[in-house]
């Protein structure tokens, strides 16, 4: 969430920056500033009313001590009127504050200066590509056919139990899934990230804190009886560890990693591009989250990108990195790099990670601050990335490592799986 003071001081710059997202922010910002003026006017009136009431209360006390009860009672009537005025002003002020907050939630983050303009994923900028695309055997199969052939993932059984988008992993498929989770966590902890186990449900405040609410409310599973939400990513519970916290500069950098299942409704997702593991309602993901000093957050972002590059190199999967354009940038992100692996059997790129810097956007919602060297409270920067999302990594392994008589296991995973091939 953008700070009100920033909007007041830099309205024109924000309007220009949000044009990269194809948003005309002028009407919304003017509405916010008008509401803020109204709110501050109400606050001034309330402060004056309370000050006058306090002054009269002191005078009443002195009059009673002096035996001037009649004069004191006259003033008491005035304080009664002032109390009613204060109550009315308080209610109006609370209403304006809620209205203002709701409008502030509608403004996305300001894109970083390096974000290219554009309206859709076609306008994203490829900035890096690495790895050889393997030459597959004749009549190579997509992963959903391989999963059926070798009986390692059962999509139809998942439909029976829950519905489409909830696959059942079996035998070596389940062991490969578990191997990837352990491998990702080990790589992250070796890189200095502290492993965390966090709840898989969060409250509404947590959803608002990281920006999933109200922006993506329709994409989250809601448990109505308890007013809780199934997490769409570990980013939500891990980042909310720091909600309403004041850190010290010496606490930076803060680096956490967590494995969780993730739940997304993915409403409106249809077609061949969502077959098999390409898009699911429940999937596993290992996440990395950082809380950083503002001066070092982009250095941290570069480090996260290099970390994920190293994992994909070890898996020997061909991949590329995209810098997302303004039209494809997530609501809360200032800058995002997407990693995509190439699925040779499907002949297409599959997104497997997004790495983002949110700058102060989430921190302002979370009230996540730190004390600088002068003892002044400042907003921290938050970052997160998938390291990695499992379904499409698993799909790419199955497809790119297939042979005429089975599926090879990447060498780096064999100590985790206990086997070197499927089939």
Q: Which residues are catalytic?
A: 264, 279, 351, 354, 392
Collapsing DSSP states into helix, strand and coil, what is residue 162? coil
Instruction: Tell me which DSSP letter residue 336 carries.
Output: E
Q: Which residue has the tokens 């007041």?
A: 8
Using an 8 Å Cβ cutoff, are 185 and 259 in contact?
yes
**127 φ, ψ to 5°?**
-115, -10
Sign of CA dihedral 205, 206, 211, 213: negative
257 assigned to a ligand binding site? no
Rounded to whole angstroms, how far apart are CA atoms 246 and 244? 7
233 assigned to a ligand binding site? yes
287 assigned to a ligand binding site? yes
Rounded to whole angstroms, how far apart are CA atoms 332 and 109? 5
Helix H or strand E segment including 210: helix 204-210
53 assigned to a ligand binding site? no
CA atoms within 13 A on the CB side of 381: 21
352 assigned to a ligand binding site? yes
**190 φ, ψ to 5°?**
-65, -30
Closest C-alpha to 134, from 397, 391, 412, 330: 397
Tokens at 303, concatenated = 């480090």
Strands (E), 177-265: 194-196, 201-203, 222-223, 228-230, 246-248, 254-263
264 assigned to a ligand binding site? yes
8 assigned to a ligand binding site? no
- Residue 258's Cα: distance from chain center in Å? 14
Annotated binding-site residues for L-serine read 233, 264, 287, 384
Binding residues: 233, 264-266, 287, 351-354, 384
Residue numbering of the annotated binding site for ATP: 264-266, 351-354
């Amino acid at each position: 969430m953008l700070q009100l003071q920033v909007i007041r001081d830099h309205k024109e710059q924000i309007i220009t920056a949000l044009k990269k997202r194809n948003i005309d922010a002028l009407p919304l910002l003017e509405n916010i500033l008008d509401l803020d003026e109204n709110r501050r006017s109400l606050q001034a009136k309330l402060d004056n009313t309370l000050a006058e009431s306090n002054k009269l209360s002191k005078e009443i006390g002195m009059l009673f001590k002096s035996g001037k009860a009649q004069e004191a009672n006259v003033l008491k009537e005035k304080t009664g009127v002032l109390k009613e005025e204060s109550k009315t002003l308080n209610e109006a002020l609370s209403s304006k504050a809620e209205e203002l907050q709701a409008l502030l939630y509608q403004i996305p983050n300001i894109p970083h200066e390096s974000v290219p303009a554009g309206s859709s994923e076609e306008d994203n900028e490829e900035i890096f590509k690495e790895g050889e695309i393997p030459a597959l055997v004749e009549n190579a199969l997509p992963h959903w056919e391989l999963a059926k052939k070798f009986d390692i993932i059962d999509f139809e059984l998942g439909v029976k139990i829950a519905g489409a988008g909830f696959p059942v992993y079996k035998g070596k498929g389940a062991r490969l899934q578990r191997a990837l989770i352990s491998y990702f966590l080990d790589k992250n902890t070796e890189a200095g990230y502290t492993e965390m186990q966090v709840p898989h449900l969060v409250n509404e405040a947590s959803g608002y804190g990281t920006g999933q609410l109200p922006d993506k409310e329709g994409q989250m599973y809601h448990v109505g009886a308890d007013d809780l939400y199934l997490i769409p990513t570990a980013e939500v519970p891990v980042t909310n560890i720091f909600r309403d916290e004041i850190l010290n500069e010496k606490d930076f950098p803060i680096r956490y990693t967590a494995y969780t299942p993730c739940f997304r409704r993915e409403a409106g997702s249809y077609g061949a591009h969502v077959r098999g593991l390409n898009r699911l309602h429940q999937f596993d993901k290992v996440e990395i989250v950082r809380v950083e000093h503002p001066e070092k957050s982009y250095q941290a972002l570069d480090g996260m990108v290099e970390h994920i590059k190293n994992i994909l190199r070890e898996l020997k999967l061909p991949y590329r990195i995209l810098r997302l354009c303004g039209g494809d940038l997530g609501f809360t992100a200032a800058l995002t790099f997407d990693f995509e692996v190439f699925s040779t059997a499907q002949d297409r790129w599959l997104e497997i990670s997004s790495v983002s810097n949110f700058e102060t956007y989430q921190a302002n919602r979370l009230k996540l601050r730190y004390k600088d060297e002068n003892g002044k409270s400042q907003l921290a920067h938050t970052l997160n990335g998938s390291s990695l999302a499992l379904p499409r990594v698993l799909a790419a392994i199955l497809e790119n490592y297939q042979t005429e008589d089975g599926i090879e296991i990447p060498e780096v995973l064999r100590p985790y799986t206990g086997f070197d091939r499927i089939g």
